[in-house]
A and B are shown apart, each in its own frame.
Chain A
Amino acid sequence: MANSESKAKKSPVGDFFRALGSDCREIGTTWAEGDGKTKLSFLIFGIGPILRGRALVGALHLALEILLIAFIAGFGWQYFSKLLTLGTVETNASGRVTTYGDNSFLILLFGLLTLCALAALIFVWRMNVRENRTEELLLKDGKKLPDNHTDFLSLFDSHFDVTLLALPVLGVFVFTVLPIIFMICVAFTNYDATHQAPSKLFTWVGLKNFRDLFSFGQDGFGSTFLTVLAWTLVWAFFATFLCYFLGIAVAMLINKKGIRFKKLWRTILVMTIAVPQFVSLLYVGKLFAPDGLINGTLLKWGLIRSALPFWTNPMWARITIIVVNIWIGIPYMMLIATGLLMNIPEDLYESARIDGATPWQMFRSITLPYMLFVTGPFLLTQFTGNLNNFNVIFLLNQGNPKSMGMVGGAGGTDLLVTWLYKMTINDTNYKMAAVIGIMVFIVTAVISLVVYQMLPSVKDEEGFQ
């Protein structure tokens, strides 16, 4: 793996190893040239700074060492040591009382956490070695070391970023990074309804789940996956661009000269943003039901002979969803477009008008290029957001109608993300849910990367400031 990578892009990998090499050399120099305090610090973190009068910095290193080691030895190791098997002791019932065996779930979770703790320990050790080196060099130059008070104050000035970011980074690590690593690992296990911790063990199965996803035939996930993926992309395309253009159109309509009560029209539209979606969308979903208000009224008026299959026919359901989504999406786009349209210099239109341009020509050659240019990145985020637009699909018809042609409980309007949800909640098929989740990531990442390169308005971030 590392080999093929290094062939593909030589320089980053090369850089990495060069950096590692120089790091090792630096550690060696620190040891060779270091005094007793420094050498002691290799084992007892932070003892060097403490002895040099920087109690705060030293104590922090020491405390971290103690905590991490206590965590790993006292709590994490029992899980970490079983990480390769995910547990071997089965749950058994002696008499009627149940004794739970190894909990594969916790072994995997805390095993990974311990792994992270080990990495953190090595990192702290490295920082501690570097700290010693820096101090020694400073002293050798005859400079004074900053005292505890200065160290402390720097947390609110030159090191203010540390203070600001410590908690957010920790939070993201525990509640986002760790769970994602965990679920990526689950994709390589057989964790599902019949291997449910703590009653049953689950274990590593390699790439089996990925092979299942791409297996075609009777019960293979392959064709269902491709159908769902295709609909996900089609949906995201229509949901994004229909709302985009119609939203601009509505904004222009309201902005039109001579139209009064502009604020009123906007406020009416904005209602769909303000009212929580689970209220409005659930109600709209019911409106279109076979026995809902729309069908009921049409039947009563004799306009149709039997209910229109808004939600029961896959094609109808897809179209209905896209149409209802316009109802949701136009107001957002209208709000954004309203502000942006006013930024277009009026004299551009004026000179176009003198040249005898029709409104449509003006839209095509002035408005649209400008809008596309400024909102390029926004369109991209809208698109990736729509790929994962759970609420609209799920609240309207739960991804139905299901079909005999699809496996895993998938339905005609299921996006990858609603399918993932169904696998988690209805089937507790975590292994396949994890695989689908990875696929969602890959799709999103690839699209983002490709489109981002093509955007005209992408400038380097500093240029904006």
Chain B
Amino acid sequence: MKKKILSVLLAGAMTAGMLAGCGGSGSKGGEIKIWVADNVVDFTKEKAESFLASDDQYKGWTVTVEAVGEGDAAGNMITDVTAGADIYGFAQDQIARLVAAGALVEVEASNASKVESANAAGVVNAAKVGSKLYAYPMTADNGYFLYYDKSVISDPSTLEGIIADCEAAGKNFYMDFGGWYQTAFFFGTGCTLTYDTDDAGNFTACNMDYDSDKGLAALKAMVQLASSSSFQQGSSAGDAVNYAAIVDGTWDAGVIQETLGDNYACAKLPTFTVDGQTYQMSGFNGCKLLGVKPQESEDKLAVCDALADYLTSEEVQLARYNAVGWGPSNIAAQNSDAVKADPALSALAEQFAYTIPQGNYPGDYWSLAESLRDSVIGEYQGADDATLQAALKSFQDSCMSYAQ
């Protein structure tokens, strides 16, 4: 008997669900959902609304802006594309994953040529998967460099000097060893790690030589750095404790400036020395992108295209720089006086000369790199060369296996 009642209710609930599922659409206009990081929510909302109000053809469209950071946005989009935002910001390392999951639509042809000519070449490359442009570059400041305390660090050009100063002063030196930051060492000693992708976002080949003497030198440098009592793993200035130097990006410039006050200074990354040989730290340079998800309605797609294009235009990039300090990817905006005078952005620009434009990496690479990070800090302390070499071999084999 209870089963009978159960089925009745179940059927009822499902029918109701079906009815709720249909309906809507038809009339022109609707809601466009945007996901951006919390500190640009108000900025984005204001810009998007004024854009839609500026032209009659966008009448009937409204925007909602929700605070979903770049990391969460990509994850959510992959979990459920249909419930995700129409336009969302993400870091470029996610692009292949998003394309493979069907969460990005190609940039519209007329916009694409505009985007390609207006933005720095490396950035445009980062927004491509295979040969197709899949996203609008929003910033070109996704790189890291050194922030330091002038009163503690006398010479920011060598890692050994920085560490010695920090240890002497009882201060911390923060550097992240995750997949994005550890390349500062590996690329610094001359290693390579890139993946080839096809147009659908699948990884077809991995070019990598970590399992080599160069790789070993880099890994030894990391183990050595981690053994310092001043070393702290991390790159969130806002959560860092008692630091005199931190490897971080422009997005934390404000926090660090407030903490260090008058002693605030920026520089390119230092050199490091392993077995008597000195290398300049390298790393990735990358950008933040704005993507549009695939749409079933042509009208909506057109509005989304226009809106995304506007939100990454020179005008808005400059305004965003002024509001929250994000470094523009637009060439004209980069050349404006305000941007050029920024100490953090100049240090970043100096560091960019030593870095490699970040291509596409499979999601597994990032989690594998975290494993390497934790191993370097923990179990590899005091390990011999053979162990480290074996670790590099297994790291490389795994990375290779992510490409089919």
Contact = CB atoms under 8 A, between A and B. Distances in A.
Interface of A: 60-61, 63-64, 67-68, 70-71, 75, 91, 93, 95-100, 113, 117, 120, 123-124, 127, 159, 161-162, 165-166, 169-170, 173-174, 193-194, 196, 198-200, 218-219, 290-292, 296, 299-300, 305-307, 309, 312-314, 400-407, 409, 411-412, 425-428
Contact of A402 (B13, B75, B301, B374): B374
Contacts, number: 174
Interface string B337-377: 00000000000000000000000000110011011111101
Contact of B4 (A61, A96, A165, A296): A61
B101 A193 contact: yes
B301 A159 contact: no
A61 B367 CA distance: 55
5 closest A-B pairs by CB: A199-B102, A306-B229, A401-B374, A98-B294, A402-B371
A122 to B, nearest CB: 11
Contacts of B101: 193-194, 196, 199-200
Contact of B11 (A68, A96, A292, A307): A68
Contacts of A299: 170, 229
B397 A218 contact: yes
Contacts of A173: 6, 10
A211 to B, nearest CB: 17
A120 B367 contact: no
A399 B5 CA distance: 44
Interface of B: 1-15, 18, 75, 78-79, 81-82, 97, 100-103, 105-106, 108, 170, 172, 227-229, 232-234, 240-242, 294-298, 301, 363-364, 367-368, 370-375, 377-379, 391, 394-395, 397-398, 401
Contacts of A95: 298
Nearest to A100: B296
A193 B80 CA distance: 11
B232 A290 contact: yes
Contacts of B81: 196, 198-199
Given A71-B15, A96-B301, A124 B7 contact: yes
Given A166-B6, A291-B172, A193 B97 contact: yes
A120 B371 contact: no
Contact of A169 (B2, B79, B172, B298): B2
Contacts of A194: 100-101
A170 B242 contact: no
12 contacts: A61-B4, A67-B12, A96-B106, A98-B294, A99-B296, A124-B4, A165-B2, A290-B232, A313-B378, A401-B374, A402-B375, A412-B374
B103 A166 contact: no
A401 B228 contact: no
A290 B233 contact: yes
Contact of A196 (B2, B78, B371): B78
Nearest to B6: A170
B375 A403 contact: yes
B8 A64 contact: yes
B182 to A, nearest CB: 13
A403 B75 contact: no
A68 B7 contact: yes
A309 B374 CA distance: 11
B373 A402 contact: yes
B301 A427 contact: no
B377 A159 contact: no
Contacts of A61: 4
A404 B395 contact: yes
B391 A404 contact: yes
Given A68-B11, A218-B401, A404-B372, A97 B301 contact: yes
Contacts of A196: 78, 81, 101-102
A286 to B, nearest CB: 9
A432 to B, nearest CB: 12
Nearest to B376: A404
Contacts of B234: 291
Query: By CB atoms of chain A within 10 A, which of B105, B234, B367, B394 has the most?
Result: B367
A409 B75 CA distance: 15
Nearest to B101: A196
A145 to B, nearest CB: 17
B274 to A, nearest CB: 20
Contacts of B378: 309, 312-314, 401, 403
B363 A193 contact: yes
Given A124-B4, A291-B242, A427-B363, 4 more contacts: A96-B108, A306-B229, A404-B368, A409-B370
